[in-house]
Structure 1
Amino acid sequence: MNIFLYEWKAYRKSTIIWSIVLLTLVVLFMSMFPSISKDAVQYKKLLEGYPEGVRKAIGLNIDSFFSLLGFYSYSFLYITLCGAIQAMNLGVSIVSKEVREKTADFLLTKPVTRSSIITSKVMAALTALLVTNIVFIIGSSLVASQVKVEDFSKQAFFLISLTLLFTQFIFFALGLVLSILMKKIKSVITVSLGTVFFFFIIAMLSSTSGDGVERYLSPFKFFDTAYIIKHSSYELSFLITGIVIMIVSIFTSYLVYIKKDIHTA
């Protein structure tokens, strides 16, 4: 419990900062919606001038772009990108920081098992992500209610917003297993940004190729906002895929960490 509280206090400041960043992005994007929806005809002509491949790559669907849910879906892609960076940072840092800061020997000599240590760290990081998403969902809902020009499905809006949490959990699990499998990580931000943008580029490429089986290659494509808007639900196969990735990554992390030779000071 003491490890959990210590870790949570360490993440508290960054959690506040990331929450503010995500809310700021929502406000910036959604504040443009009333004027865009008002001049929909002109904007549609402008957007139609872009090649279809480019529109798909940046997540722009002209058919739904001028509705609140459609515009929110477009902006949500870039909000998710920032959220993935936050989650990846947490996943990569929670174990590797003990090696970088040369405090592993102090921690591992305490009368607690390695499984208890990693469990406390994981729970603290997941709590930080959960708090970020609670703030984000409440804030984005308030913003949407202020800028709407017509009624929209609140259920679909909530389901779209909730995919941020699912995506973050996936990237957190990937970051965790990556940090444990790698011998030493000198820079968390380098590994985090490199991994997140790698999957983001794959997502953009899969969008231009028709969103087939390539969607399974990137967590950014597991939750299709167009499908959510239409069906008010998630695609089961991709939801299961995300859960499997999380379970396998965390299980592998536990298995390796418990037996791993941790370098101390």
Structure 2
Amino acid sequence: MYFTFITIPIYSLFPSFAKDAEEFKKLLEGYPEAVRKAIGLNVDSIASILGFYSYAFLYITLCGAIQAMNLGVSIFSKEVREKTADFLLTKPVSRTQILSSKLLAALTSLVMTNVVYLAAANMMASQVKTEDYSSKIFFLISITLFFVQLIFLALGMIMSVIVRKIKSILTVSLSTVFALFIIGMLSSTAEDEALRYLSPFKYFDTDYIIKNSGYETSFLIVGIGIIVASIVASYFIYAKKDIHAV
């Protein structure tokens, strides 16, 4: 939840940025187009609050993905690493109940994070805006943080039940998230639609959301499919998995 406070220093830069918008645009146009695409920088809209927010939001999503991946990977791997799994499974509860409780706890954490983030983002946007903007589009962009987090939570969850023993949750989480983030950057640089499907960071294109006030259906379906398939597979594997006693 700590990353929600990133919005405060980010938004504090917008008034001065908007004031000297033309100078900043000229400066940004000096960057190679491939670099601008890779880091999600749209020169034409960067001076508007939604354009500025879209650029900063990419890195807020990166932080959120790390949080979600950490939660997902730790759902099962932590008790295996600390050798407490056999103790837990001797209790009069089923494996389905155990996994459901862990998943619900992780979801509660993500929901709380997003509620705080939305409140902070809306408050800062209303304070620094220099012109009216669409609150609907602002919300559509902001809520994609939760969608992306759900995907990474599900990926972390399936990873935690498949891999026999994960020594470092943070190492696995960071390497997975950054690898998919880099793939997303490459897909933007190459303008490869097929490559976008490999990176959840590119499932919700902010430029598309601003122009169309909605999401791309194909990527939304793929995202939901990943979440459902990963969670269902996690339950199935966990129910059949051999868990060794200490």
TM-score by length of 1: 0.92
1:250 CA drift (Å): 0.5
Q: 3-state SS of the aligned residue for 2:197?
A: helix
Question: Aligned partners of 2:240 and 2:189: how far apart in 1?
Answer: 43
Instruction: Determine if the alignment matches structure 1 residue 220 to structure 2 residue 204.
Output: no
| Corresponding residue for residue 234 of structure 2 | 253
2:178 to 197, 209, 220: 197
Contact 1:167–1:220 (Cα < 8 Å) also in 2: yes
| Corresponding residue for residue 90 of structure 2 | 109
2:58 to 77, 89, 107: 77
Gaps spanning 5+ residues in structure 1: where? 1-18
Gaps spanning 5+ residues in structure 2: where? none
| Corresponding residue for residue 123 of structure 1 | 104
Q: Structure 1 residue runs of 4+, over 3 Å off? A: none
Query: How many pairs are equivalent?
Result: 246
1:24 CA drift (Å): 2.1
Contact 1:88–1:174 (Cα < 8 Å) also in 2: yes
Q: Percent of counterpart pairs with the same letter?
A: 64
Per-residue CA deviation, residues 19-44 of structure 1 (Å, 9 max, x unaligned), is: 2x322211111111111111011101
Instruction: Determine if the alignment matches structure 1 residue 173 to structure 2 residue 154.
Output: yes
Question: Aligned partners of 2:35 and 2:120: how far apart in 1?
Answer: 30
Over the aligned positions, Cα root-mean-square deviation in angstroms equals 0.8
Contact 1:99–1:264 (Cα < 8 Å) also in 2: no
TM-score by length of 2: 0.98
Contact 2:4–2:113 (Cα < 8 Å) also in 1: no
1:153 to 115, 126, 134: 134
Letter in 1 for 2:181: F
1:99 CA drift (Å): 0.8
Instruction: Determine if the alignment matches structure 1 residue 46 to structure 2 residue 27.
Output: yes
1:264 CA drift (Å): 2.8
Letter in 1 for 2:62: L
1:69 CA drift (Å): 0.3
Question: Aligned partners of 2:209 and 2:190: how far apart in 1?
Answer: 21
72-81 or 231-240, which moves further after superposition? 231-240
1:52 CA drift (Å): 0.2
1:162 CA drift (Å): 0.1
| Corresponding residue for residue 10 of structure 2 | 29
Question: Aligned partners of 2:208 and 2:16: how far apart in 1?
Answer: 26
